[in-house]
Amino acid sequence: MKVHMTESLRIDLDSERWECRKCDRDLADARDNYKRGLLVYDRDPREIHAPIVDPERYDFTFAPDPEWVRILEYCCPGCGTQVEVEYLPPGHPPTHDMKIDIDALKKQWASREELAEPVLAPPQAAK
Ligand SMILES: [Zn+2]
């Protein structure tokens, strides 16, 4: 049984592994941080948020200071799909943004059919 978690990630409940939804590559232990199985590109934030005044003339250019913040782009090592992006202070470890209770997820899906594609929840009634 495979359960879709994000646009790019799913969990195989039988092997308890994170997988890439685009190329099916095995990424990491589902009880651990999926980012352990991804490639990381540590980007200078000025590549994304370019200075809007001349950096030769001014100390403060409205661009983020790369000594204060980095942009970490996480990509699948199998297909290169960008899975996540986060802004962190230089040297900060990757955040653990999805900690899934695998045992509860298994119980939840025990009586369900596997979905080929994600589905949206039915519309909620107006209150
Ligand atoms: Zn992939």
CA distances from 60 to 42, 44, 55, 64, 87 (A): 22, 16, 7, 9, 19
Going from the Cα of 79 to the center of ligand 1, the distance in angstroms, rounded, reads 4
The total number of structural domains in the chain stands at: 1
Between the CA of 113 and the centroid of ligand 1 the distance, in Å, is 24
Measured in Å, residue 55 CA sits from the centre of ligand 1 at 38
Task: Return the pLDDT at 124.
Answer: 79
Question: 10 in a domain, yes or no?
Answer: yes
Q: Is residue 68 in a domain?
A: yes
Nearest CA among 46, 42, 37, 35 for reference residue 88? 42
The one-digit pLDDT tens for each residue of the chain (127 residues) are 999 999 999 999 999 999 999 999 999 999 999 999 999 999 999 999 999 999 899 989 999 999 999 999 999 999 999 999 999 999 999 999 999 999 999 999 999 999 888 888 777 777 7
Does residue 119 sit within a domain? no
Backbone torsions φ then ψ of 108, nearest 5 degrees: -60, -35
- Domain interval for residue 87: 2-109
In this prediction the pTM is 0.86
In a domain, 11, yes or no: yes
In a domain, 90, yes or no: yes
Buried b (16+ CB within 10 A) or exposed e, 22-35: eeebebbebeebbb
